[in-house]
Structure formats: C-alpha cells, structure tokens
C-alpha cells in the first residue's frame, strides 16, 4: 500500500472540503483514517486508501432495522467520538432509515425505507439490530403490519451487504435463551447464509464503524471467521490481552467480590470470568472514549461472554470458564500465601511441642530397642549354660 501522497495531495482543496464537512482538522482526519486502518489490521499505508474513500466515494446508503432488542447497540453508537454520530450519519454514511434516530414516523418512515431501497438498489448496506422471532409465523414482532421475517428478507434481497450488529442479531442473544418462547433467531438463520456479525451486548461502535469503512474503502466487507465475525476484532481471546492476565499467570485470583484480591485487581477467573473462552477485542479497544476501564473486567466484574454463542446468556455468571488455551496449574500458591513473617509465640510453642513429642518418642524407641537386645542376650547365655557350649552362631569370649 502506498503512502498518502500516492492517492492525493494533502493540501488540495478537496481535502479542505473534507475538513470543513467533518468539522475536523486535516491532521485529526488523517489520524482518524490511520486509527481505522490499524483497527482493521490493515498494513502500513492503508490509511491513504481509507482517507481517499471517505474523501471521494459516494456516501453509502444505510438501512438500519430494529427487531427484538433493547436498542443498546444504537446507544453504543451514539457514544462514538471518532467521528461523532452526526458526522457519521451525515458525512460518512447516509443513514436513510433508522427507527430510533429518524424524524419521520408511521407511513412516512416506511415510505422513506422503500424509497431508499429503490434509489440505491444493489448498493445500500443493510444493518440489522435485534433477534428475529420465528414462532407462530413471526407474529411477535411486526413493523408497519409486516413481520420481522418478511421485512429482513425484503431488505436483504437488494442489499450490497448485510451486517448483523449486536449479539441478538448475531446469534439470538438474550431473547433466544431457554425456553425461547418467541423462537428468536439470528439474521443468518433467517437468510440461510453466513452474515457478517458484530456481536456484543452492546458491541464496540468502532468495530461496526471499521467494518463499514472497510466496505466503503475496498468495496467489500472484511475477512470473517466461520461465525461471520470480522477477524480484526474477534480473532483473539479476551484473556490473551486482558489487563489482569499477569495476575492469572502468577496465580493471583479474587475469590469473592470485595475481598483483598478483588480490591487489588487480581484475576477474576475464579469469579466466573468468561474471557478465556470469549473472542473479542474488549480488552484492547475502549468503549466511548471514557477511559480504558470502561468495560466489565476493567471495573471489577467478570466477562459474561456476550460475544460468544453458547456462553453469553447461557452459562451462569459464576460458572468457571472453559480454558481454550491454558489451564491454571495445581501448584499455584494460595491467594493469601504469607511470606517473610516471623513465627508467632503460639506457633513457635506448637512447633516446640511437636518437636518435643517427636524427640521423646525417639528416646523411648531407642530405650525399648536396647531392652529388647539385652533380653535376647540373656536368653542366649542361659541356653549356652544349659548345653555346656555356646549356641550356634555365638563366639566364645576370650
């Protein structure tokens, strides 16, 4: 990938237009592009392609559907700072339909969706937030008289790309937990194909933003794993880069909430942290620009595995995680192992008592052995006197 000047002159008017449009200094804009490129795991120099795409490419039309969810994914997006939401939806993408953020309602809202789909046929990006109920023909979620099943199929038919955001849309999330009365299902199950997903409850908004910008830059979505998750964000276990990993390796664990180990930031593995079996970048990419402690483990709560199907909302929070790469050895010291302290008077007395008892037992054993030997010698002498000669095996004294 070339450098920035291979794509455009950073002083030319078009870049100045981007600066005015985004209300962002050129230096900050280029840093933003470099950050997105790094987030996606792109090679050095890729920020030039990102910048060129944002500068020159037509803003992609985005249709955002809501189904069985708490709107937490949208709330997370509202707290993005690079760029802020208004810059994202007005300057980077064209958010043509979003029930929570759009001004229109009722028939006007549905008309806006259909108009956007028609005007951008085969080019728009479909984002789905929330699980899709399938039981009883999907009657548990309807919008404008249309079931969620029918709406997602209609919108996906002419979409250039489909993205499932949040754990509910990715694999059913909380609505799909047993007994799952509505038959809540994922987008991929409804469409019958693997769909790129940004799981999390809620997901980090920058994972979504980076995915959209990747599509904007290269005309395709980023590489995904077998579950449809972008590898740049979900390729490593949370445990591998956790800020408490050093305590895990040293065998220092919090045993109860509020105990000494918990207050000192010890590993939360024994409190049920699911980081060792959950793939996500929560431990390396902060939420909402509020500091790096703004995720569960950072503020003292175990990871619940919300990005992992079969873990989040399925396993009890207190249940110990299944280690996918390493198991703590049995020889780890106790959490309260004390070192470098002199013995107390009571413990010294106890040790002395034990040592004295052991010494006394040894003396008695020696004494008993001596008495036994003397008795044997007397018996042999008696036998020798009765026979007039030493017993076999004895030597005559000189």
DSSP string, 122-185: TTPEEEEESBEE-GGGGTT-EETTEEHHHHHHHHHHT-SEEEEESHHHHH-TGGGSTT-TT-EE
Q: Is residue 335's pLDDT more than 80? A: no
Q: Is residue 9's pLDDT more than 50? A: no
Give the integer Cα–Cα distance in Å for 379 and 271. 71
What would the pLDDT profile of 113-148 be if each residue is shown by its tens digit? 999 999 999 999 999 999 999 999 999 999 989 999
CB 21 within 8 A of CB 83: no
Q: Is residue 26's pLDDT more than 90? A: no
pLDDT band at 392 (very low <50, low <70, confident <90, very high): very low
Considering only residues 209 and 14, tell me which one the structure prediction assigns the higher pLDDT. Answer: 209
Provide CB contacts within 8 A for 65, sequence distance 6+. 97, 99, 126, 127, 128, 129, 130, 148, 151, 152, 155
What would the pLDDT profile of 103-116 be if each residue is shown by its tens digit? 888 899 999 999 99
Helix residue spans in the chain (DSSP H): 13-22, 26-39, 47-56, 72-78, 85-87, 107-119, 148-157, 167-171, 187-191, 205-218, 231-234, 245-250, 260-263, 345-387
3-class DSSP assignment, residue 66: strand
pTM of the model: 0.69
Considering only residues 1 and 79, tell me which one the structure prediction assigns the higher pLDDT. Answer: 79
- Out of 23-27, 269-273, 295-299, the most confident range is 269-273
Considering only residues 177 and 17, tell me which one the structure prediction assigns the higher pLDDT. Answer: 177
What would the pLDDT profile of 34-56 be if each residue is shown by its tens digit? 776 766 666 666 666 666 666 65
| DSSP at 63 | E
Mean pLDDT (whole number) for 282-306: 84
Give the integer Cα–Cα distance in Å for 254 and 356. 40
Instruction: Please report the pLDDT score of residue 279 as a whole number.
Output: 96
Give the integer Cα–Cα distance in Å for 68 and 396. 106
Considering only residues 6 and 236, tell me which one the structure prediction assigns the higher pLDDT. Answer: 236
Structure tokens at 104: 């229109």
Considering only residues 24 and 6, tell me which one the structure prediction assigns the higher pLDDT. Answer: 24
Residue 77 burial by CB count (10 A; 0-12/13-18/19+): exposed, middle or buried?
buried
Instruction: Please report the pLDDT score of residue 80 as a whole number.
Output: 78
Q: Is residue 225's pLDDT more than 60? A: yes
> What superfamily in CATH does domain 236-338 come from?
Cytochrome-c3 hydrogenase, C-terminal domain (4.10.480.10)
Mean pLDDT (whole number) for 385-389: 57
Task: Using only the alpha carbons of the chain, give its radius of gyration.
Answer: 36
pLDDT band at 221 (very low <50, low <70, confident <90, very high): confident
pLDDT band at 59 (very low <50, low <70, confident <90, very high): confident
> What superfamily in CATH does domain 57-232 come from?
NADH:ubiquinone oxidoreductase-like, 20kDa subunit (3.40.50.700)
Domain ranges in the chain? 57-232, 236-338
Q: Is residue 63's pLDDT more than 80? A: yes
Instruction: Please report the pLDDT score of residue 370 as a whole number.
Output: 56
Q: Which residues pair with 98 in a beta bridge?
A: 64
Mean of all residue pLDDT scores within the chain: 80
Longest Cα separation, the chain: 132
Considering only residues 261 and 333, tell me which one the structure prediction assigns the higher pLDDT. Answer: 261
β 161-165/146-147 pair status: unpaired
Q: Is residue 301's pLDDT more than 90? A: yes
């Amino acid at each position: 990938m070339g450098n920035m000047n291979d794509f455009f002159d950073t002083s030319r008017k078009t870049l100045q237009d981007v600066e005015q449009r985004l209300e962002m200094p050129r230096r900050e804009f280029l840093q933003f592009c470099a950050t997105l490129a790094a987030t996606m795991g792109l090679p050095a120099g890729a920020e030039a392609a990102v910048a060129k795409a944002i500068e020159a490419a037509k803003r992609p039309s985005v249709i955002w559907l809501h189904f069985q969810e708490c709107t937490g994914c949208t709330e997370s997006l509202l707290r993005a700072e690079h760029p802020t939401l208004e810059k994202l939806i007005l300057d980077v993408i064209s958010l043509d339909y979003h029930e929570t953020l759009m001004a229109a309602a009722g028939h006007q809202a549905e008309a806006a969706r259909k108009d956007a789909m028609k005007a951008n046929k085969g080019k728009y990006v479909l984002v789905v937030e929330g699980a899709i109920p399938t039981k009883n023909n999907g009657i548990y979620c309807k919008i404008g008289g249309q079931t969620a099943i029918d709406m997602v199929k209609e919108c996906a038919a002419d979409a250039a790309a489909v993205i499932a955001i949040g754990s509910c849309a990715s694999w059913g999330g909380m609505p799909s937990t047993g007994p799952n009365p509505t038959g809540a299902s994922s987008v991929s199950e409804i469409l019958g194909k693997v769909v790129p997903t940004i799981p999390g409850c809620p997901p980090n908004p920058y994972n979504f933003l980076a995915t959209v910008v990747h599509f904007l830059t290269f005309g395709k979505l980023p590489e995904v794993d077998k579950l449809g998750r972008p590898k740049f964000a979900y390729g490593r276990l949370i445990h591998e880069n956790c800020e408490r990993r050093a305590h895990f390796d040293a065998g220092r664990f919090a045993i109860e909430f509020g105990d000494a180990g918990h207050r000192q930031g010890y590993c939360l593995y024994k409190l049920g942290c699911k980081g060792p079996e959950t793939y996500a970048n929560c431990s390396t990419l902060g939420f909402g620009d509020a500091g790096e402690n703004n995720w569960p483990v950072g503020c003292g709560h175990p990871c619940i595995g919300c990005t992992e199907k079969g873990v989040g909302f399925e396993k009890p929070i207190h249940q110990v995680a299944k280690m996918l790469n390493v198991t703590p050895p049995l020889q780890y010291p106790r959490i309260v192992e004390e070192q470098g302290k002199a013995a107390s008077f009571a413990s010294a007395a106890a040790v002395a008592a034990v040592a004295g008892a052991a010494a006394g037992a040894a003396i008695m054993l020696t004494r008993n052995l001596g008495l036994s030997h003397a008795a044997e010698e007397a018996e042999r002498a008696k036998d020798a006197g009765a026979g007039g000669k030493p017993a076999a095996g004895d030597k005559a004294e000189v």
